[in-house]
Amino acid sequence: MAEHPSTAPLATPAARRAREHILELTREGVVGVDFFEQVSQQLREIIPFDASFWSATDPLTTMAVTPTRVDESLAGQCERYWEREFLIEDVNHFHDLARAPSPVASLYRATGGSPERSLRYRETRDTLGYGDELRAVLRSGSRVWGIASLWREEGRPAFSLAEEKLMAELSGALAEALRRTALLAPRERCDPPEAPGVLVFDASGALESLNDQADAWMQELESSAESDMTIATQLLTVAARARAISAGRERGLSRARVRGRSGRWLVVHGFGLRGAGGDAGKVVVVIEPAKASEVAPIIVEAYGLTAREQQITQMVAQGRTTDEIATRLFLSSHTVRDYLKQVFLKVGVSSRGELVAKIFAEHYLEPLHEGAVIG
């Protein structure tokens, strides 16, 4: 495999128009699966590829959530895709890209021109006939709001450095579109169950059993492009990471927050089970309404509040006065008022009451209890 010889992806008028069309799409409002479809079509004019995967992510965990778009040629590969991401040592994992100076890298370049070193490359080549993979995290500031994978057929040139740089330039605009959608996603009429949905995956990652409520919750999670998929992407992602944590390959919790079709925020979390002998075995995935304290951090991230602005917003939600906030944060009252002006401007409100209602009440359908704020 040789590197693509192109050094100027925007050399033609058609390519420049495609780039402008992509940027226009990022400014149009709420995005959905059709957004990824249109971006994918336009991007092919600039960076030729043969298959792609796109997904929004929980910005606090980088776990895949809706909307998600998967090419038909990749159907049936989702479970293995996430197993390779969390359970197998390899290069170019999304969590590594999330912290890297550039949000984009090709598998060819990440392996020093020897992609055969990557198990992901060998398996994808042998099962699907694809060669180089270009991966991107769609990053705004330090937060990742989406991920993408582009593949070329085996035998075609690898993605060039110029193509990587162009994708990196588009990363921020695409991320901003997804960030905005976390605030503005439309609501559909939907009557999800009150009880949690529970799914059990066996040791190989296959779905073994589920309760009746899980069926209804999965309808709440589905997007139009996933209607023919057995299990939504975010469930597979959470299950794979839970297996990795259970096996000692990952740390922390496996959880993702996602806004359902009804507009309600849900949390999907997974737990590894151990057999009587202590070996890692099954995984349980639970879907249930998110608590306000789980939703609030995503909302403040979506509004682009700084760490200090988040602190002050939390204290406003707790009912503290300007002087009380100033004392607790060792700031002057004048400085606190300046921070509040910036928060009001970012959120689009003019009072403390409007601030609390906008950030919390509009994004969480149940009453907010005292203390259930930014954690």
Average pLDDT over residues 138-144: 91
| Whether residue 79 is found in the same domain as residue 121 | yes
How many percent of the chain have pLDDT more than 70? 86
| Whether residue 23 is found in the same domain as residue 170 | yes
Span 309-335, pLDDT tens digits: 988 988 887 888 999 999 999 999 999
Domain harbouring 23, CATH code: 3.30.450.40
Residue 2 lies in a domain: no
Q: Which domain holds residue 325?
A: 293-363
How many domains does the structure of the chain reveal? 3
Span 272-318, pLDDT tens digits: 987 666 566 799 999 998 877 777 777 777 888 888 998 898 888 78
Q: What confidence tier does 187 reach under pLDDT thresholds 50, 70, 90?
A: low
105, pLDDT greater than 50: yes
Span 40-69, pLDDT tens digits: 999 999 999 999 999 999 998 888 888 888
Given 127, 149, 184, the domain boundary residue is 184
| Whether residue 206 is found in the same domain as residue 151 | no
3, pLDDT greater than 70: no
208, pLDDT greater than 50: yes
Residue 38 lies in a domain: yes
| Whether residue 39 is found in the same domain as residue 141 | yes
Confidence (pLDDT) at 373: 31
Average pLDDT over the chain, rounded to whole? Answer: 84
Given 138, 159, 184, the domain boundary residue is 184
| Whether residue 180 is found in the same domain as residue 221 | no
Higher pLDDT pick, 180 / 365: 180
Span 241-269, pLDDT tens digits: 999 998 888 888 899 988 887 777 889 99
| Whether residue 145 is found in the same domain as residue 208 | no
Residue 3 lies in a domain: no
pTM score: 0.76
| Whether residue 47 is found in the same domain as residue 161 | yes
Residue 369 lies in a domain: no
Least confident range from 26-35, 151-160, 228-237: namely 228-237
Residue 190 lies in a domain: no
| Whether residue 30 is found in the same domain as residue 174 | yes
Domain harbouring 303, CATH code: 1.10.10.10
Residue 57 lies in a domain: yes
R_g (Cα) of the chain, nearest Å? 22
Least Cα distance to 47 among 16, 9, 102, 17 occurs for 9
Indicate the Cα dihedral angle 134, 138, 140, 142, nearest 10°: -70
Given 271, 290, 309, the domain boundary residue is 290
User: SS3 sequence, the chain?
Assistant: CCECCCCCCCCCHHHHHHHHHHHHHHCCCCCCHHHHHHHHHHHHHHCCCCEEEEEEECCCCCCEEEEEEECHHHCCCHHHHHHHHHHCCCCCCHHHHHHCCCCEEEHHHHCCCCHHHCHHHHHHHHHHCEEEEEEEEEEECCEEEEEEEEEEECCCCECCHHHHHHHHHHHHHHHHHHHHHHHHCCCCCCCCCCCCEEEEECCCCCEEEECHHHHHHHHHHCCHHHCCCCCCHHHHHHHHHHHHHHCCCCCCCEEEEEECCCCCEEEEEEEEEECCCCCEEEEEEEEEECCHHHHHHHHHHHCCCCHHHHHHHHHHHCCCCHHHHHHHHCCCHHHHHHHHHHHHHHHCCCCHHHHHHHHCHHHCCCCCCCCCCCC
| Whether residue 275 is found in the same domain as residue 297 | no
Residue 374 lies in a domain: no
Residue 192 lies in a domain: no
| Preceding amide of 196 cis, omega within 30 | no
Phi then psi dihedrals of residue 269, to 5 deg: -135, 150
| Whether residue 180 is found in the same domain as residue 305 | no
371, pLDDT greater than 50: no
